[in-house]
Amino acid sequence: MLELKNVKKTFNRGSINEKRALSGVNLKLEPGDFVTVIGGNGAGKSTMLNMIAGVYPIDSGAVIIDGKNVTLQPDYKRAAYLGRVFQDPMMGTAADMEIEENLAMAYRRGKRRGLGWGILKQEKKIYHEALQMLELGLEERMSSKVGLLSGGQRQALTLLMATLQKPKVLLLDEHTAALDPKTAAKVLKLTQELVKKNHLTTLMITHNMKDAIRLGNRLIMMHEGNIIYDIKGEEKRQLKVSDLLAKFEEASNGEFANDRMMLS
Partner 1 sequence: MGVIMGIISSLPGALSQGVLWGIMALGVYITYKILDIADLTVDGSFALGGSVCAMCIVGGMHPMLAILVAIIAGCIAGAVTGILHAVFDIPAILAGILTQLGLYSINLRIMGRSNTPLLKQETIVDKLAGLLPNMKNSYTTLIIGILAVVIVILVSYWFFGTEVGSEIRATGNNEAMVKALGGNTRLMKALGLAISNGLVALSGALVCQSQGYADVNSGQGAIVTGLAAIVIGNVLLGWGKSFGMKMISVITGSVIYRIVIAIVMQAGWVDTSDTKLFSAILVAIALAVPVLIERHRNRPQVEE
Interface residue list for partner 1 (CB under 8 A): 53, 75-77, 79-80, 82, 84, 86, 90-97, 101, 104-106, 108-111, 113-119, 161-162
Phi, psi of 223 (to 5 degrees): -155, 125
* Residue closer to partner 1 (CB basis): 108 or 236: 108
Tell the burial category of 127 from Cβ atoms under 10 Å away from its Cβ (0-12, 13-18, 19+): buried
* Residue closer to partner 1 (CB basis): 33 or 100: 100
Residue 40 CA to residue 262 CA, distance in Å, equals 10
3-class SS of residue 166: coil
Q: Which amino acid is located at 154 in the chain?
A: R
* Residue closer to partner 1 (CB basis): 104 or 134: 104
Alpha-carbon distance values, 263 to 84, 120, 179, 208, 209 (Å)? 26, 47, 16, 9, 10
Phi, psi of 63 (to 5 degrees): -115, 120
* Residue closer to partner 1 (CB basis): 163 or 252: 163
User: How near is the Cβ of 49 to partner 1 at its closest, in Å?
Assistant: 12
Alpha-carbon distance values, 206 to 113, 187, 260 (Å)? 34, 13, 12
Contact between 27 and 3 (Cβ < 8 Å)? yes
* Residue closer to partner 1 (CB basis): 91 or 257: 91
User: How near is the Cβ of 185 to partner 1 at its closest, in Å?
Assistant: 25
* Residue closer to partner 1 (CB basis): 191 or 208: 191
User: How near is the Cβ of 260 to partner 1 at its closest, in Å?
Assistant: 24
Alpha-carbon distance values, 191 to 49, 51, 112, 203 (Å)? 17, 22, 28, 11
User: How near is the Cβ of 117 to partner 1 at its closest, in Å?
Assistant: 6
User: How near is the Cβ of 264 to partner 1 at its closest, in Å?
Assistant: 26
Helix H or strand E encompassing 21: strand 19-29
User: How near is the Cβ of 119 to partner 1 at its closest, in Å?
Assistant: 8
